[in-house]
Amino acid sequence: MGGDRGTRIQRVTEQVRRRHPGPGVRPPVALFGGLFRAAAALGFYRWYMSRQHRVHTVVSYVAGPVETMRLGGRAVRSIIPVGVSETGNITVAFQAFSYRDTVIVSAVADPDACPELDDLMRVLRDELAATEAMSRAELRGGRAVAGAGGWSPVATDPQGTEHS
């Protein structure tokens, strides 16, 4: 996707809005949830995920609260998203979570299927930093932009080695 960063972000936003079914449309998991749970209980989910070839990258985003949360009476300063699931043969799974004025991005990757993980993380860090700079510039221009507080990408392979 060519063009400058702002144009690319705008194009992606427009594509997501066009393709998103909107409120009131039930996702497949809601329609077939019982079937999925039964298949998982019988071991078919793990079997399928280890053999599927349609998905290689998963990206998840959860918009968190903008106000400070408390746990045991103490302020929660940051939250790191961690996706825990059977990934089968999915190469990379990214999780993004916004909390207060910060977006944290984590990644879990198969180092055998993604030997260029350090390069991937470097490119991700550069893109996130550039997006943050663009967001800060927009904030100075009077427009509020969610997640303008900071970016912190960290990837961990199955052996627990961090790649940042």
14-46 pLDDT per residue, tens: 877 777 666 666 666 677 778 878 888 898 877
Residue 145: pLDDT band with limits 50, 70, 90:
very low
The model's pTM: 0.59
Count Cα neighbours of 40 within 13 Å in the Cβ-side half-sphere.
10
pLDDT in tens, 55-105: 767 778 888 888 999 999 999 998 888 876 666 777 888 888 888 888 888
Beta sheet of 57-63, edge-to-edge order:
57-63, 92-99, 102-109, 154-156, 162-163
pLDDT at 86: 65
Q: Give me the mean pLDDT over the 127-137 stretch.
A: 80
pLDDT at 71: 94
Q: Give me the mean pLDDT over the 116-134 stretch.
A: 84
* Cβ-Cβ contacts under 8 Å for 118 (sequence gap 6 or more): 163
Q: Is a pLDDT exceeding 50 seen at residue 140? A: yes
Residue identified by tokens 């793990």 is: 46
| Residue 142 zone, left/alpha/beta (φ > 0; ψ -120 to 50; rest) | left
Whole-number Å distance between alpha carbons of 18 and 15: 5
Whole-number Å distance between alpha carbons of 44 and 10: 39
